[in-house]
Amino acid sequence: MLAATRVTTAARGWPGAAQGTAFRLGTPDTSLFPFEEWTRIVSRLWREPPPELLRYGDPAGYAPLREAIAAHAGVARAVRCTPEQVIVVSGSQQALDLAARVLLDPDDTVVMEDPGYLGARAALSAAGARIVPCAVDAEGLDVAQARNVAARAVYVTPSHQFPLGVTMGLPRRLALLEWAAERDAWVFEDDYDSEYRYAGRPHAALQGLDADGRVIYIGTFSKVLFPALRVGYLIVPAGLSDAFVAARAIADRHPPTVDQAALAEFIERGLLARHIRRMRGLYAERQALLLELARRQLGGLLDVAPCNTGMHVAGWLPEDADDVEASRRAAQFGVDAAPLSHYRIAPGSPGALLLGYSAVAPREMAEGVARLARALAQLPVRRG
């Protein structure tokens, strides 16, 4: 049973079984979500649904939502597209899976950030792609390192590199697009939590800088609203819309319609923008608190670095420490702190723990840092 084995292998180690609250990765705080307003929108739609919301729908997504997403991505991310280029999907995972199905053939080479996002690696590997890891430096993916790779595509998280948190600067963005043009490669731009930027102006998405139609832009509402909603989007070059829509129809026909209609109204009424603003303020405060607590209690144990974007920070361990062991000990103290090694393609150092702060209230944060300090105090130094 070759196929089943390939699938199981591709998914190994992902999705992780997250336990505990501090410091789980990729988890938005939902306590401030306007559930009252959302429920009013959803209830009105369900109580007397227009027939077109109940029938088979458009595989590309519900038209008003595609329009709302095109407008949102234009304003928030300098993405340039028509609504016809927007394909509503169930999240960044489906976006990646469709991109792999439409644009990759088995044994195609794909350059990936190392360390990088496991869900992307799983989708690309399942499609039969050969993954070539490429280092990440302070400017993001080290394009020079990829220079001689005959890649069909590259996967990047330029707004907030997952998991290191680096933002790709403009020169590096232009270098990446230039490299892609030379190689005739696709660029899979996963802009998964770009909405959370705490300092400085956001850089335009690669999609908005792309003159050649080689960027496949991937956005999701999993981080700005909540994961269980299962709504994300692809923005594809105009000439690829038909192929992506066909792939989506084959994969699972179309997204649930009422959820899409509700989200379209939520965006049109400005509730999404308001929620993002509110959460941005909250998350900035939470990161500041975590950094302050870490400075006071984790000195010498974990060097927690500030980050201008996203929902987590990296805490660097002393040079010889093993981050998998550190994570295991943290778990024994009831703390969820993912080890950076888990996201590395090639083995490497130094070790770090990734600390998600977005869903952690101040009291839990203090308790979490105190427990982490106790866990790490017992950490043996690795014997080389």
Query: Partners of 141 in the beta sheet?
Result: 136
> Of 1-9, 286-294, 313-321, 362-370, which part binds its own copies (CB under 8 A)?
1-9
Give the contact letters, 154-193, x = binds to its own copies (CB under 8 A), - = no: ----------------------------------------
Count of beta carbons in the 10 Å neighbourhood of residue 297: 16
Query: How far is residue 166 from each of residues 144, 148, 300, 312, measured CA to CA in Å?
Result: 17, 24, 23, 12
Of 114, 189, 259, 336, which one interacts with its own copies (CB under 8 A)?
259
Smaller CB separation from its own copies, 99 or 175 = 99
What is the rounded end-to-end Cα distance, in angstroms, of the chain?
41
Q: Please choose, from the candidates 31, 68, 45, the residue with its C-alpha nearest in 3D space to the C-alpha of residue 271.
A: 68
Give the contact letters, 42-81, x = binds to its own copies (CB under 8 A), - = no: xx--xxxx-x-xxxxx-x----------------------
Q: Please, what is the Cα angle at 98 between 97 and 100, to 5 degrees?
A: 65
Query: CA-CA distance, 365 to 296, in Å (whole number)?
Result: 13
- Look up tokens 């993916």; give the residue: 141
Query: How far is residue 63 from each of residues 12, 218, 261, measured CA to CA in Å?
Result: 36, 18, 9
Give the contact letters, 207-226, x = binds to its own copies (CB under 8 A), - = no: ---------------x---x
Q: Is 253 in the site for its own copies (CB under 8 A)?
A: yes
CB of 279 to its own copies, least distance (A): 14
At 271, give phi and psi (nearest 5°): -75, -30
Give the contact letters, 102-141, x = binds to its own copies (CB under 8 A), - = no: xxxx-------------x--xx--x---------------
Q: Is 27 in the site for its own copies (CB under 8 A)?
A: yes
> Of 83-91, 272-280, 323-331, 336-344, which part binds its own copies (CB under 8 A)?
83-91
Of 18, 75, 288, 324, which one interacts with its own copies (CB under 8 A)?
18
Query: How far is residue 375 from each of residues 49, 167, 299, 302, 304, measured CA to CA in Å?
Result: 53, 31, 13, 11, 16
CB of 144 to its own copies, least distance (A): 28
| CA 357 to chain CA centroid, nearest Å | 15
> Of 25-33, 139-147, 172-180, 330-338, which part binds its own copies (CB under 8 A)?
25-33
- Look up tokens 């500041």; give the residue: 288
Residues that bind its own copies (CB under 8 A): 1-5, 7-8, 10-11, 14-15, 18, 26-27, 30, 35-36, 38-39, 42-43, 46-49, 51, 53-57, 59, 89-91, 93-94, 97, 101-105, 119, 122-123, 126, 222, 226-230, 240, 242-243, 246-247, 249-259
